[in-house]
């Protein structure tokens, strides 16, 4: 674009003028740059249909613009209208047969249409005449192999991409994923280490090593690697962000908070980083600050349901159940099959006295993901609190049918059966639980404060231990 209208009054007026013309079915003149701004404006907000409408209007005015045609193909691809995108790309291909952007997009479309061999052949052929975008071609070939299930071939192509351009972050992440899925993560450390050995001051090499350690959930080493990356390159926003994530996972929420702030300082606020910053405030029990930053994320993107859930989570922590329930419902209106949202709503509804609504949420989770331990524990606990021990046991046993190796479910059933006076049955479930995971038996004592009951349980557990 020759001109940048972003975040300006001129940009806002441009959007307003376009929408007014559309509402009155009038036509107006816009430059190609202005159309490009409008397309970017709507696509950034996730309004791809509106962006496509802008392109259709623009193409009436500029019918031979290959840039507009390519942008339309991209949006069709992002909207998962793969065949329409392919038809348009093939038209472009006949006009610009060696255009790298057309080739890369066609390769991505073919991959999503599961035409893997065709995609790989197209992209591999392009390597012969393209000298500037070879890293991106290798990356896309890697994606095709990965989608096809050929992970070792994908690994080799991601490595080829990184040999050309070590700063290719997408290739870094996908390579780490493939190493993970093929159980090669520990060995992959040597691969990244050789870059560091060749250039100890390569910020990208240290960053990539941090990504691998993060995949391995080795947070201490991940933190060290990311810190080296930021020491070498002080404005390395991605490293600060990942460093924040590593500190969050390591339980150091104040450090995470500082590094998310640094990311925003370098890159500006985005919904993703603002939500991470808000979550760090939430973990530090600074709920008002958390809510404030989740709301900032929503100002940037009103449809960012993760922020809606975050506000609900902060309110839930303050036992403001009714308000929390409202925000969980808002989040679910955007992502109705999100089990985390459904479980949170069930808990909030139960605490506001809406037991029927809570149970409905649990039933929805069963349909989506019956292999969720919290689902069975939380759902059955409703009946336990109502002293309907038989129903509580029935629900948790339904969970055991779905997850027969989950010790927590057996231990919880022991609680319900003892409270129901079914001691022989409780003993059978206790034996199974101890076999599956002996150490988790301590959770039983959260439910039994009576010393006599505790002594009896200790005796049984000691007998099992000494067998």
Q: Mind listing the pLDDT tens digit for each residue in 258-281?
A: 999 999 999 999 999 999 999 999
| Residue 453: pLDDT band with limits 50, 70, 90 | confident
Rounded mean pLDDT of the chain? 91
Q: Report the alpha-carbon angle 357-291-308, nearest 5.
A: 45
Nearest to 83, CA basis, from 38, 113, 128: 113
- Please state which of the ranges 185-194, 280-289, 383-392, 401-410 shows the lowest mean pLDDT: 185-194
Q: Are 287 and 293 in contact (CB under 8 A)?
A: no
10 Å CB burial of residue 421 (0-12, 13-18, 19+) is exposed
10 Å CB burial of residue 250 (0-12, 13-18, 19+) is middle
The label of the residue with tokens 């430059």 reads 31
Distances (CA, A) of 118 to 35, 75, 148, 154: 34, 22, 12, 16
- Counting Cα atoms < 13 Å in the Cβ hemisphere of 256 gives 24
Q: Mind listing the pLDDT tens digit for each residue in 296-354?
A: 999 998 999 999 999 999 999 999 999 999 999 999 999 999 999 999 999 999 999 99
Global pTM value = 0.76
- Model pLDDT, residue 437: 92
What is the spatial distance between Cα 156 and Cα 150, in angstroms, rounded to a whole number?
Answer: 10
CB neighbour list of residue 380: distance below 8 Å, 6 or more residues apart: 392, 393, 395, 396, 399, 412, 416
Which backbone phi and psi does 366 adopt, to 5 degrees? -55, -40
- Model pLDDT, residue 2: 38
Which structure tokens are listed for 323? 């308000």
Q: Mind listing the pLDDT tens digit for each residue in 183-217?
A: 998 888 988 888 899 889 999 889 989 999 999 99
10 Å CB burial of residue 194 (0-12, 13-18, 19+) is exposed
CB atoms within 10 A of CB 133: 18
Which structure tokens are listed for 412? 């919880």
- Identify the DSSP state of 445: G
What is the spatial distance between Cα 53 and Cα 43, in angstroms, rounded to a whole number?
Answer: 11
CB neighbour list of residue 273: distance below 8 Å, 6 or more residues apart: 241, 260, 263, 264, 267
The label of the residue with tokens 């989770």 reads 365
């Amino acid at each position: 674009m020759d001109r940048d209208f972003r975040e300006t009054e001129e940009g806002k007026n441009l959007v307003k003028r376009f929408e007014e013309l559309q509402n009155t079915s009038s036509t107006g003149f816009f430059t190609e740059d202005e159309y490009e701004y409008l397309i970017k404006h709507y696509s950034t907000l996730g309004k791809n249909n509106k962006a496509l409408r802008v392109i259709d209007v623009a193409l009436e005015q500029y019918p031979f613009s290959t840039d507009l045609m390519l942008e339309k193909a991209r949006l069709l691809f992002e909207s998962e209208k793969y065949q329409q995108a392919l038809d348009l790309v093939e038209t472009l291909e006949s006009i610009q047969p060696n255009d790298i952007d057309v080739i890369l997009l066609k390769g991505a479309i073919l991959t999503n249409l599961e035409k893997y061999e065709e995609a790989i052949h197209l992209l591999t052929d392009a390597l012969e005449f393209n000298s500037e975008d070879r890293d991106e071609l290798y990356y896309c070939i890697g994606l095709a192999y990965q989608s096809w299930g050929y992970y070792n071939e994908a690994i080799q192509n991601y490595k080829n991409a990184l040999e050309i351009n070590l700063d290719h972050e997408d290739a870094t992440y996908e390579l780490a994923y493939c190493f993970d899925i093929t159980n090669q993560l520990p060995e992959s450390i040597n691969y990244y280490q050789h870059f560091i050995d060749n250039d100890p001051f390569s910020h990208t090499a240290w960053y990539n090593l941090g990504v691998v350690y993060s995949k391995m959930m080795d947070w201490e080493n991940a933190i060290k690697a990311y810190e080296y990356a930021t020491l070498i390159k002080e404005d390395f926003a991605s490293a600060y962000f990942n460093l924040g994530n590593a500190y969050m996972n390591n339980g150091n929420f104040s450090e995470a908070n500082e590094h998310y702030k640094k990311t925003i300082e370098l890159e500006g606020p985005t919904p993703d980083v603002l939500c991470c910053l808000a979550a760090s405030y939430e973990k530090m029990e600074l709920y008002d600050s958390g809510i404030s930053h989740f709301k900032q994320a929503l100002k940037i993107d009103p449809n960012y349901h993760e922020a809606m859930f975050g506000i609900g989570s902060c309110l839930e922590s303050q036992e403001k159940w009714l308000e929390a329930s409202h925000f969980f419902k808002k989040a679910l209106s955007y992502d109705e099959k999100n089990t985390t949202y459904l479980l949170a709503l069930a808990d909030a509804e139960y605490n506001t006295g809406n037991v029927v609504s809570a149970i409905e949420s649990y039933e929805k989770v069963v349909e989506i993901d019956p292999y969720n331990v919290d689902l069975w524990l939380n759902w059955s606990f409703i009946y336990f609190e109502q002293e309907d021990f038989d129903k509580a046991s029935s629900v948790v046993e339904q969970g055991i049918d779905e997850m027969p190796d989950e010790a927590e479910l057996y231990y919880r059933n022991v609680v319900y059966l003892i409270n129901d006076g079914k001691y022989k049955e409780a003993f059978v479930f206790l034996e199974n639980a101890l076999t599956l995971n002996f150490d988790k038996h301590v959770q039983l004592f959260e439910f039994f404060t009576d010393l006599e009951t505790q002594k009896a349980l200790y005796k049984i557990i000691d007998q099992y231990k000494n067998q």
